[in-house]
């Protein structure tokens, strides 16, 4: 354990994996929270070290942090949905049934399910961040869920705003948001893999191919962001001369149904989120 002892924390995170690190360490870096405001329960020693290096108190289990959890301490649930049952038992013991805000980033787990596992004392604010939060470019959704009252989302908004953009979304659309934004970075990374493979097949050495593709994707993303008033289809058309090289490339995409496959992938991700919420 390190730092933070002596007074209750503002936020106790159950889970300290990649997403919790992105949010909490980003919030620390942005000054949204201080070192003594956060404690983290994470069984993996390597993951705990990232918080300890930042001066945040951590322990293997939430029960070991009981002295830092007061009536006003909010919880951040940052574990896999499959672990909710076990985590809920530990959280109930550590929190003593005192009404408090519970910020959940569990994919595919509706607020009612989270509150049902924890108890009526939980005021659930559901959020869904994505991995670009690690570099301060996240896109996160937030909504008041089971038992939550107006204003209970203030801490979540402060955290998420420190690592990117925040959108308000009805909980019924969270599975769809997960399919677009939560899984979206993987689609971009898969595109990068394909572009690198194609560059190598076309004769460009591996190191150069990697550097070129990273630059193309970063530059294109910046252009897409800056040209917010221009439709992506129009940006694509501006690069595509009739009968030119880009047109030849996109003809292969069209033949393979790439764009349609991406749309189907988002729907498949949404449907899997619904299955997870149903316990599948």
Give me the CATH number covering residue 211.
1.10.3730.10
Q: Do residue 25 and residue 162 come from a single domain?
A: yes
Instruction: Please report, rounded to a whole number, the percentage of residues in the chain having pLDDT higher than 70.
Output: 97
Would 265 be classed as within a structural domain?
A: yes
The 10s digit of each residue's pLDDT in 88-111 is: 999 999 998 899 999 999 988 999
Closest CA to 99 of 64, 66, 72: 72
Per-residue confidence band for 6, with pLDDT thresholds at 50, 70 and 90: low
178 is a domain residue: no
Question: Could you tell me the residue range of the domain that residue 137 belongs to?
Answer: 11-173
pTM beyond 0.75, yes or no: yes
In terms of domains, do 268 and 162 share one? no
pLDDT at 280: 60
| CA dist 64 → 1, 9, 84, 94, 149 (Å) | 10, 14, 18, 8, 29
Whole-angstrom Cα distance, residue 130 to residue 196?
24
Indicate the residue among 119, 152, 173 that finishes a domain: 173
Residue 244 lies in a domain: yes
CA–CA distance, 220 with 179 (Å, rounded to integer): 22
Residue 200 within any structural domain of the chain: yes
Altogether, the residues listed in the chain come to a count of: 280
Answer whether residue 5 is part of any domain: no
Residue 211 pLDDT greater than 60, yes or no: yes
Q: Please tell me whether residues 129 and 71 are part of one structural domain.
A: yes
List all residues 6 or more positions away from 173 whose beta carbon is below 8 Å from its beta carbon. Answer: 141
Helix (H) or strand (E) holding 76: strand 74-77
Looking at every residue in the chain, the average pLDDT score rounds to: 93
Supply the DSSP symbol for 46.
H
Report how far residue 272's alpha carbon sits from residue 266's, in angstroms, rounded to the nearest whole number: 10
In this structure, what token pair is assigned to residue 222?
């910046």
Q: What is the mean pLDDT of residues 39-68?
A: 95
42 neighbors 66 (Cβ within 8 angstroms): no
Do 128 and 105 meet the contact criterion of CB atoms below 8 Å apart? yes
Last residue of a domain, one of 115, 141, 173: 173
Q: What is the CATH classification number for the domain harbouring 84?
A: 3.40.50.720
Q: Distance between CA 106 and CA 57 in Å, rounded?
A: 23
Mark whether 51 and 155 lie in a shared domain. yes
DSSP 43: S
* Residue from 120, 274, 262 nearest 187 by CA: 262
How many structural domains does the chain have? 2
Nearest-10 crossing angle of helices 232-239, 206-226: 130
Residue 60 and residue 191 in contact, taking contact as beta carbons nearer than 8 Å: no
């Amino acid at each position: 354990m390190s730092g933070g002892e002596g007074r209750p924390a503002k936020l106790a995170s159950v889970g300290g994996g990649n997403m919790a690190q992105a949010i909490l360490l980003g919030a620390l870096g942005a000054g949204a929270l201080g070192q003594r405001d956060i404690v983290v329960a994470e069984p993996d020693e390597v993951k705990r070290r990232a918080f300890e290096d930042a001066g945040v108190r951590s322990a293997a289990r939430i029960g070991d942090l009981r002295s830092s959890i007061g009536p006003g301490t909010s919880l951040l649930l940052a574990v896999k949905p499959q672990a909710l049952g076990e985590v809920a038992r530990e959280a109930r013991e550590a929190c003593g049934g005192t009404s408090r805000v519970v910020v959940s980033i569990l994919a595919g787990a509706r607020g009612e399910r989270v509150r049902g596992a924890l108890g009526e004392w939980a005021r659930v604010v559901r959020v869904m961040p994505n991995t670009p939060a690690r570099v301060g470019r996240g896109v996160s959704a937030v909504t008041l869920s089971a038992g939550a009252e107006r204003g209970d989302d203030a801490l979540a908004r402060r955290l998420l705003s420190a690592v990117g953009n925040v959108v308000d979304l009805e909980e019924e659309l969270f599975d769809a948001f997960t399919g677009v934004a939560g899984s979206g970075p993987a689609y971009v990374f898969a595109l990068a893999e394909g572009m690198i493979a194609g560059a190598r097949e076309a004769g460009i050495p591996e190191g150069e191919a990697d550097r070129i593709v990273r630059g193309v994707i970063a530059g294109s993303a910046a252009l897409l962001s800056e040209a917010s008033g221009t439709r992506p289809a129009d940006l694509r058309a501006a690069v595509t001369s009739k009968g030119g090289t880009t047109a030849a490339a996109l003809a292969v995409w069209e033949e393979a149904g790439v764009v349609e496959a991406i749309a189907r992938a988002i729907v498949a991700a949404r449907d899997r989120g619904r299955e997870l919420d149903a316990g599948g």
